[in-house]
Amino acid sequence: MEMNPHPLVTDDAFREIFHSMSEGIVMVDEGGQIVLANPIAETIFGYSSNELTGLTMEVLVPQNHRGHHAQLRKGFNKHPEPRRMGFGRDLTALKKDGTEFPVEISLSYTRVKGKVLVMAFISDISERKKSEEALKRSEEQLIIYAAELERKVQSRTEALHKTIRELEKEVIERKRAEEETRKALEKEREFNDLKTKFVSIASHEFRTPLSTILSSIALVEQYKQRNDLDKIDKHTARVRSSVEHLTAILNDFLSLGRLEEGKVEVINEMIPMESFFHDLIEEVKPSLKKDQHVLLHLKTEVTAFTDARILRNILFNLISNASKYSEEGKNIEIHVSADSKSLSIAIEDHGIGIPEEDHKHLFERFFRAGNVSNIQGTGLGLNIVRRYIELLKGDITFESEYKKGSTFTVLIPLNA
Per residue in 60-69, is it b (16+ CB within 10 Å) or e — as a string? bbeeeeeeeb
Name the residue type at position 82.
P
Q: Tell me the CA distances in angstroms from 162 to 207, 208, 255, 266, 389, one per residue in order.
A: 20, 21, 22, 31, 33
What fold, for 269-413?
Heat Shock Protein 90 (3.30.565)
Q: Tell me the CA distances in angstroms from 42 to 45, 96, 325, 403, one per residue in order.
A: 5, 10, 73, 75
Alpha carbon distance 351, 327 (integer Å) = 6
Given this model, what pLDDT does residue 205 score? 55
Given this model, what pLDDT does residue 197 score? 40
The CA dihedral of 235, 236, 239, 244, to the nearest 10 degrees, is -140
pLDDT means per 10 residues in the chain (416 residues)?
A: 52 67 87 88 90 89 81 79 75 90 88 85 88 87 84 82 76 68 69 46 56 69 72 70 64 67 83 91 86 90 88 89 91 92 93 90 80 73 88 93 92 81
Alpha carbon distance 63, 67 (integer Å) = 8
CA 43 vs. chain centroid, Å, equals: 44
Reference 210, options 171, 155, 163, 257; nearest CA is: 163
3-state SS of 223-267 is: HHHHCCHHHHHHHHHHHHHHHHHHHHHHHHHHHHHHHHCCCCCCC
Whether 299 and 336 have beta carbons less than 8 Å apart is answered as yes
Residue 9 per-residue DSSP state: -
Radius of gyration of the chain (CA): 36
Whether 118 and 107 have beta carbons less than 8 Å apart is answered as yes
What's the N-to-C CA distance of the chain in angstroms? 77
CATH level 2 (architecture), domain 130-260: Up-down Bundle (1.20)
Reference 393, options 313, 295, 283, 305; nearest CA is: 305
Name the residue type at position 243.
V
Alpha carbon distance 137, 131 (integer Å) = 10
Q: What is the model's pTM?
A: 0.46
Whether 405 and 351 have beta carbons less than 8 Å apart is answered as yes
Alpha carbon distance 145, 140 (integer Å) = 9
Alpha carbon distance 320, 248 (integer Å) = 12
Whether 306 and 392 have beta carbons less than 8 Å apart is answered as yes
Given this model, what pLDDT does residue 153 score? 79
User: How do the domains of the chain map onto residue ranges?
Assistant: 12-124, 130-260, 269-413
Pick the CATH number of 12-124 from 3.30.450.20, 3.30.460.80, 3.30.1330.60, 3.60.20.10: 3.30.450.20
Alpha carbon distance 37, 412 (integer Å) = 68
Given this model, what pLDDT does residue 313 score? 86
